[in-house]
């Protein structure tokens, strides 16, 4: 294989021969590419690798540090005192490509600022789902690798031009997302109150029974952390009526003298339809009826979209009051 320019962004793309594939052939994605590498004494390997982490090669399932080989491809026992650190070809194209920080570190450790080529084999396992699907689907067409997940089930909304590749897409999603064992696609429009729809299994098991956790079990632990908690209630026909489920959800409030206070209160984003002239006021008042507490000055409301003449979809957002969560 001829050397590719090291600035070629196509270095990480699968071979063009996979274009149009509808049945997944993982072996067809293998290719050998030339990447830059630097020779480092084993005794200072960890220190140098840490100093060069910004320019080191980063690929799923690939080792950045490899052993040296002879010209025939065998390990060179005489060179056991050195290892090769593989570098990102989009950052390092020559010995002069190192930034001042990396160059100073190499000089301090006495490592020669010399670049050599390493023949690296890339396989299906080293590619990301977006890269695989972009290589398979027709050029210029939209690539979708996003999905919503419930337990072991990944739910996709594929477009018409993606349907001929749906089985392959499903298998790629399973391969690249640990824990996903079933991929489904919506096959009809959502026109029921509870937003039910028919599904087609694209790949994996046909088990539609998923185990998920009630908010009550996880919320106390999340509220002790620093990450923001967002609760999205996106069933606009009925979500406002379901807000009463939060009342007393966590039972009696713990004695703060004995337990760490839960200061990280959840942010709720509740969607609802309104046919009233003042749609913002309408959705806030209906939320207050469910909570039996005033949200005036505590919430924000925005228009999502107009869904029909004189019918708006609104979203009301607020911090869940402590007095609602606890009895």
Question: pLDDT for 148-183, tens place per residue?
Answer: 888 899 998 888 889 999 999 999 999 999 999 999
Which pair of structure tokens corresponds to residue 165?
A: 């590749």
| Backbone dihedral angles phi then psi of residue 262, each to the nearest 5 degrees | -90, 90
Q: Please provide the average confidence, as pLDDT, over all residues in the chain.
A: 85
122 closest CA partner among 8, 3, 11? 11
The confidence score (pLDDT) of residue 8 equals: 38
Which DSSP letter does residue 87 get?
A: B
> CB under 8 Å to 202, separation ≥6 — which residues?
156, 166, 167, 169, 170, 171, 173, 183, 184, 185
The confidence score (pLDDT) of residue 227 equals: 86
Q: Measured at the alpha carbon of residue 166, what is the angle toward residues 165 and 171, in degrees to the nearest 5?
A: 105
Q: Is the pLDDT of residue 269 over 90?
A: yes
* Percent of the chain topping pLDDT 70: 85
The β-bridge relationship of strands 153-156 and 182-186 is parallel
Which DSSP letter does residue 302 get?
A: E
The count of other CB atoms within 10 Å of the CB of residue 161 is 12
131 close to 19: Cβ distance less than 8 angstroms? no
156 close to 168: Cβ distance less than 8 angstroms? no
Q: What is the largest CA-CA distance in the chain?
A: 83
Task: Report which of residues 311 and 186 the model is more confident about.
Answer: 311
DSSP β-bridge partners for residue 118: 35
Helices 129-136 and 166-176 meet at what angle, rounded to 10?
Answer: 160
240 close to 278: Cβ distance less than 8 angstroms? no
Using CA atoms, how far apart are residues 148 and 154, in angstroms rounded to an integer? Answer: 6
Which DSSP letter does residue 27 get?
A: G
Which pair of structure tokens corresponds to residue 275?
A: 């046919």
Dihedral (Cα; 45, 47, 53, 58), 10-degree rounding:
30
Using CA atoms, how far apart are residues 46 and 86, in angstroms rounded to an integer? Answer: 14
The pTM of the whole model exceeds 0.75: no
- For 21-26, what is the mean pLDDT? 95
The reply to whether 31-122 and 129-204 are identical in fold is no
The structural architecture, per CATH, of the domain 31-122 is 2-Layer Sandwich (3.30)
The confidence score (pLDDT) of residue 75 equals: 56
The count of other CB atoms within 10 Å of the CB of residue 320 is 20
Q: Is the pLDDT of residue 3 over 50?
A: no
> CB under 8 Å to 220, separation ≥6 — which residues?
250, 262
Coil, strand, or helix at residue 129?
A: helix
Q: What is 129-204's CATH number?
A: 3.30.300.110
pLDDT tens sequence across 292-313: 888 988 999 999 999 888 899 9
pLDDT tens sequence across 243-263: 998 988 888 877 655 455 556
* Percent of the chain topping pLDDT 90: 49
Domain residue ranges in the chain: 31-122, 129-204, 215-325
How many residues are present in the chain?
327
CA contacts within 13 A on the Cβ side of 16: 2
Using CA atoms, how far apart are residues 182 and 203, in angstroms rounded to an integer? Answer: 6
């Amino acid at each position: 294989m001829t050397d590719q320019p090291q600035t070629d962004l196509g270095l990480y793309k699968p071979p063009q021969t996979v274009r149009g594939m509808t049945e997944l052939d993982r072996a067809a994605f293998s290719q050998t590419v030339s990447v830059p590498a630097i020779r480092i004494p084993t005794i200072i390997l960890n220190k140098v690798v840490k100093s060069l982490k910004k320019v080191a090669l980063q690929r799923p399932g690939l080792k950045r540090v490899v052993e040296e080989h002879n010209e025939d491809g065998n390990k060179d026992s005489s060179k056991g005192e050195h290892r090769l650190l593989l570098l990102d070809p989009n950052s390092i194209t020559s010995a002069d490509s190192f930034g001042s920080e990396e160059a100073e570190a190499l000089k301090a450790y006495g490592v020669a600022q010399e670049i050599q080529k390493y023949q690296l084999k890339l396989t299906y396992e080293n590619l990301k789902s977006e890269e695989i699907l972009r290589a398979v689907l027709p050029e210029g067409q939209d690539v979708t690798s996003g999905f919503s997940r419930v337990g072991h089930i990944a739910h996709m909304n594929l477009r018409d031009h993606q349907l001929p590749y749906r089985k392959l897409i499903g298998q790629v999603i399973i391969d690249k997302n640990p824990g996903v064992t079933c991929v489904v696609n919506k096959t009809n429009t959502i026109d029921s109150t509870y937003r039910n729809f028919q599904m087609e299994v694209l790949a994996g098991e046909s088990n539609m029974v998923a185990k998920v956790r009630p908010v009550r079990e996880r919320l106390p632990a999340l509220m002790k952390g620093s990450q923001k908690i967002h609760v999205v209630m996106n069933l606009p026909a009925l979500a406002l009526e379901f807000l009463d489920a939060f009342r007393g959800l966590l039972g009696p409030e713990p004695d703060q003298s004995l337990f760490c206070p839960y200061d990280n209160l959840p942010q709720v984003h509740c969607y609802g339809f309104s046919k009233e002239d003042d749609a913002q006021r309408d959705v806030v008042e209906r939320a207050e009826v469910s909570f039996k507490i005033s949200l005036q000055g505590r919430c924000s409301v925005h228009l999502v979209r107009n869904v029909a003449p004189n019918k708006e979809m609104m979203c009301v957002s607020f911090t869940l009051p402590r007095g609602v969560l606890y009895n």
